[in-house]
Amino acid sequence: MITDPVTLTPGHVIGDAREVMERYNISGIPIVDGSRVVGILTRRDLRFEEDPSTLISKVMTTEKLVTARPGISLEEAEHILNQQKVEKLLLVNADGMLAGLITMKDIDKNRRFPNAAKDERGRLRVGAAVGISDDDRVSALIEAGVDSVSFFEMEPKEVPVVIASLKADPTSNYEEAVREVFGVLRPGEVLEEEGISTMLEQFLFNDRRYDLGEVGRYKINQRLNLNIPIETHSLTRDDFLEISKYLIKLRHAKGQLDDIDHLGVRRSRSVGELVENQIRVGLARMSRTVRERMRLRDVETLTPSDLINARTVSCLLYTSPSPRDRTRSRMPSSA
């Protein structure tokens, strides 16, 4: 719930509204007279308005406003929004004063990120990490109302590595970071909105995409001093955390680098494993082809034979891997 939503008055012009919507990335603004709700202005109201000097009072929605009393649960709010087919629920007290706002976007995010750190009002908690000598920054954070401040202390040589990495990161939130990673993994492809929350799971933590095998898991556990069950054949978040720590140590001449030609980081691959990998690649290509054909053609007239071509898999099976791939492969490594 938004307890202090951005508002405008009927005396503002739609040019002000568009500027506010752009600045805060919102699609609707409660209109108040003092603190009393008199209407709501949405992008739908502005769609056909071209003159930025037009008063908000002339275009805002004033009748049949969808409202509720403060203290309503998110489940009740979602029911009202779905029933009225709107995206914003104004919270108004008994005197008609604006007390808050619940949006469908907030409800969707609450469902997509159930483990997010929130306060008793459902608002995201905000924290910051600072160095032990950042007194001015701590004071500014406390003045801004931050929920928590954490202090970190690292070896002097390690601090520039971490700080420089954070400064070089071009992203500012989770969605931007996911799109950045996706752009590296699949350059040229577009990540759809609904795929943002599942992309990392599918690409990094899904054993259907790749299989470390028991040997690979054993080698990673051995190198990083982990105790992850040998049955876990995909990477985990603990793997990435320990790998990052190990890379920082390598930068400061701690730990050891792997020799790519050392037999200790190579192993023989059985025929069954090679065939399994080829089939996995073939099925993945077939899956992409089926999805593309279903998007481009009329689904009602499609038949299984129009979508599925077994030659996609059979051609890969008849394509022999190189002698190097048949006899040995590099073991997963942290360095």
Whether the Cβ atoms of residue 225 and residue 249 lie closer than 8 Å to each other: no
Per-residue pLDDT of the chain (335 residues; tens, 9 = 90+): 788 889 999 999 999 999 999 998 888 999 999 889 999 999 888 988 889 999 999 999 998 899 999 888 888 998 999 998 888 999 999 888 999 899 888 888 888 888 888 877 677 888 887 876 677 888 888 888 888 888 766 555 566 777 778 778 888 888 888 888 888 888 877 787 777 878 878 777 877 777 788 888 888 898 899 999 998 888 888 998 899 888 888 887 888 888 888 887 777 777 887 888 788 888 888 888 888 888 887 777 778 888 888 887 888 777 755 544 444 444 444 43
Q: For residue 213, give both structure tokens.
A: 């095998």
State pTM to two decimals.
0.45
Unique residue bearing structure tokens 């979508």 = 307
Domain closes at, from 48, 79, 112: 112
301 shares its domain with 325: yes
Structural domain of 34: 14-112
Give which of 123, 98, 120, 121 is closest to 109, Cα–Cα: 123
Residue type at position 294: M
Does 5 fall in a domain?
Answer: no
57 shares its domain with 131: no
Query: What is the maximum alpha-carbon separation in the chain?
Result: 80
Instruction: Name the domain count of the chain.
Output: 5
171 three-state secondary structure: coil
Half-sphere exposure of 139 (CA within 13 A, CB side): 4
Does 166 fall in a domain?
Answer: yes
Unique residue bearing structure tokens 């007279």 = 33
* Rounded distance between C-alpha atoms, residue 293 and residue 300, angstroms: 12
Domain closes at, from 189, 224, 256: 256
Q: Cβ of 297: how many Cβ atoms within 10 Å? A: 12
Does 326 fall in a domain?
Answer: yes
299 shares its domain with 209: no
274 shares its domain with 289: yes
